[in-house]
Amino acid sequence: MHLNQYYTQNIYGDALIQSLSISSPKIALDLGFGAGDLLHAARRRWKDLSLIGVDIDRQNIIRANSGKLIKTLELNGFELALPQLIREQFGNIDLLISNPPYFSCDLNDTNKRILHDIGLLDCISKKLNKIPAELIFLAQNLRLLSKSGELGIILPAGLISGQKWQPVREFLLSNYQITNVIQLPVESFKKTDAQTFILILKHRQSQNSLGCVRLSNMSEASFLNISRSQAISRADYNYYKTAKSLINVEKPTTKSFEIFRGNKSHNVLSLSNCEHVHTTNMPPVPERINLFGKKIEGEKVATTGDILIARVGRRCIGRVAIVETGQAIVSDCIIVISPKNKFDSEVIWNIVSSFNFKSYLVNAALGVGAKYITYKIIMDYLMREYVPTK
């Protein structure tokens, strides 16, 4: 049975455990404990710690029982009564750790009740039929979190920096104290190249705990403190580190250009035999290009002086080109900056063809596996508003 579990390597489990501020927990629980890596990491720090593992995978239960170190419960993480069942058997848990499975699940009545019980349902669009399973696991952990307890959970980039989940971040920052958000290397877990983060939180002890959020990267010794409003916007270290170091010599105005993207997919344009620009034929380094397409009514077309930016794809993010001559239709994977005149075109080209801009896009890109950028990400850079302050 494929359960979408990506087991935690020791190095990342130890990083999570060492980031916890709780001094001497008595019981640690891992919801979806898998191979038990996080629990064993916790035991390496606290030798007398009692370990509890909850999992639906029978093989994980059998392996843990044979080791006799982890007390196990064979339960579904989506069980509405899960917190009650755990408390009845073990009482309050003071340390919660989790690397939940990553997949989309139905937003059914049970999941709605789980989210509603902790206050997260109002953070989710009523138009959604599916949500990330890790959001349910986060909610279950929050339902289990005791007043003096602490939670360390590994989450994908979407919940940390995605626009769709800003209300979730606002809820967490309003109701809990987030003490650390640690960016992990891409491909930290086998079978996935998802960008992941360690989130450490506990109940707020006072209104004074509404202050800064600490961001760090496991690969670096430095850290950054950002405001609550910045963390609501996004809370990924690499973005703020890059933004902090960026300095633009010239700044265009919003009146000096228009911005748009293609409105048809590469597949549709290929079937119609239209000459067009797609991420696959964007140059790997900033380059002046000549186009040989035609202007077709109703199509999105790039013309001389326009600047093209690859919008989608981890390997394509950061690719830019300026149209020296000609014109061509662009696919919906291309964002076009269309300056009003040649002077504005060169000013903007000097900015977006820089290494700093590429570095910014790579770190600002959204998405867990397939990365993408938005108009706002580009505009924030051009207008020098890449660190939100509101």
From residue 175, give the alpha-carbon distance in Å to each of 46, 95, 97, 207, 361: 28, 18, 19, 10, 31
pLDDT bucket at 206, cuts 50 / 70 / 90? low
Q: Given 243, 270, 293, which residue is the final one in a domain?
A: 243
pLDDT at 193: 60
Give yes or no: residues 162 and 268 share one domain: no
Give yes or no: residues 54 and 115 share one domain: yes
Average pLDDT over residues 227-252: 78
pLDDT at 390: 35
pLDDT at 354: 87
Could you tell me if residue 285 is inside a domain?
Answer: yes
pLDDT at 221: 85
% of the chain exceeding 90 in pLDDT: 66
The 3-state DSSP class for residue 108 equals coil
pLDDT exceeds 90 at position 141: yes
Q: Which residues pair with 182 in a beta bridge?
A: 198, 216
The set of residues, in sequence order, having a beta carbon less than 8 Å from that of 268 and lying 6+ positions away, is none
pLDDT exceeds 60 at position 207: no
From residue 10, give the alpha-carbon distance in Å to each of 39, 210, 287, 364: 10, 32, 43, 28
Using left for φ > 0, alpha for ψ between -120 and 50, and beta otherwise, residue 46 falls in beta
Q: Which of 159, 162, 197, 172 has its CA nearest to residue 377?
A: 162
Give yes or no: residues 192 and 49 share one domain: yes
Q: What is the CATH number of the domain that holds 324?
A: 3.90.220.20
Could you tell me if residue 390 is inside a domain?
Answer: no
pLDDT at 188: 62
The set of residues, in sequence order, having a beta carbon less than 8 Å from that of 187 and lying 6+ positions away, is 193
Q: Given 197, 215, 243, which residue is the final one in a domain?
A: 243
pLDDT exceeds 70 at position 353: yes
CA distance 269 to 304: 21
pLDDT bucket at 2, cuts 50 / 70 / 90? very low
Give yes or no: residues 223 and 268 share one domain: no
Host domain of residue 266: 254-382
Could you tell me if residue 55 is inside a domain?
Answer: yes
Could you tell me if residue 248 is inside a domain?
Answer: no
Which residue has tokens 């959970």? Answer: 153
Give yes or no: residues 263 and 228 share one domain: no
Using left for φ > 0, alpha for ψ between -120 and 50, and beta otherwise, residue 367 falls in left
Could you tell me if residue 5 is inside a domain?
Answer: no
The set of residues, in sequence order, having a beta carbon less than 8 Å from that of 87 and lying 6+ positions away, is 93, 144
pLDDT bucket at 204, cuts 50 / 70 / 90? confident
Residues 115 and 147 sit within 8 Å (Cβ to Cβ): no
pLDDT at 10: 78
Q: Given 243, 266, 281, which residue is the final one in a domain?
A: 243
Q: List, as one string, the DSSP characters of 193-205.
A: ---EEEEEEEE-S
Sheet holding 93-98, edge to edge: 70-74, 50-55, 27-31, 93-98, 145-156, 196-203, 176-183, 213-217, 223-226
Could you tell me if residue 310 is inside a domain?
Answer: yes
The set of residues, in sequence order, having a beta carbon less than 8 Å from that of 58 and lying 6+ positions away, is 74
Give yes or no: residues 262 and 292 share one domain: yes
Tokens coding 9: 């390597």
pLDDT bucket at 189, cuts 50 / 70 / 90? low
Q: Which of 75, 220, 228 has its CA nearest to residue 140?
A: 75
Give yes or no: residues 211 and 312 share one domain: no
pLDDT exceeds 80 at position 49: yes
Give the tens place of pLDDT for each residue, 242-273.
Answer: 776 654 445 677 888 999 999 999 999 999 88
Could you tell me if residue 387 is inside a domain?
Answer: no
pLDDT exceeds 90 at position 368: no
pLDDT exceeds 80 at position 86: yes
Give yes or no: residues 61 and 196 share one domain: yes
Q: What is the CATH number of the domain that holds 88?
A: 3.40.50.150
Give yes or no: residues 33 and 145 share one domain: yes
CA distance 336 to 323: 10
Question: What secondary structure letter does DSSP report for 163?
Answer: G
Which of the two residues, 62 and 240, has the higher pLDDT score?
A: 62
Could you tell me if residue 2 is inside a domain?
Answer: no
Count of the separate structural domains present in the chain:
2
Give yes or no: residues 93 and 183 share one domain: yes
Which of the two residues, 87 and 293, has the higher pLDDT score?
A: 87
Give the tens place of pLDDT for each residue, 51-72.
Answer: 999 999 999 999 999 988 999 9
pLDDT at 178: 95
Give yes or no: residues 42 and 121 share one domain: yes
Q: Which residues of 130-148 are buried (b: 16+ CB within 10 A; e: fewer)?
A: ebbbbbbbbbbbbbbbbee
Give yes or no: residues 183 and 112 share one domain: yes
pLDDT exceeds 70 at position 293: yes
pLDDT at 250: 59
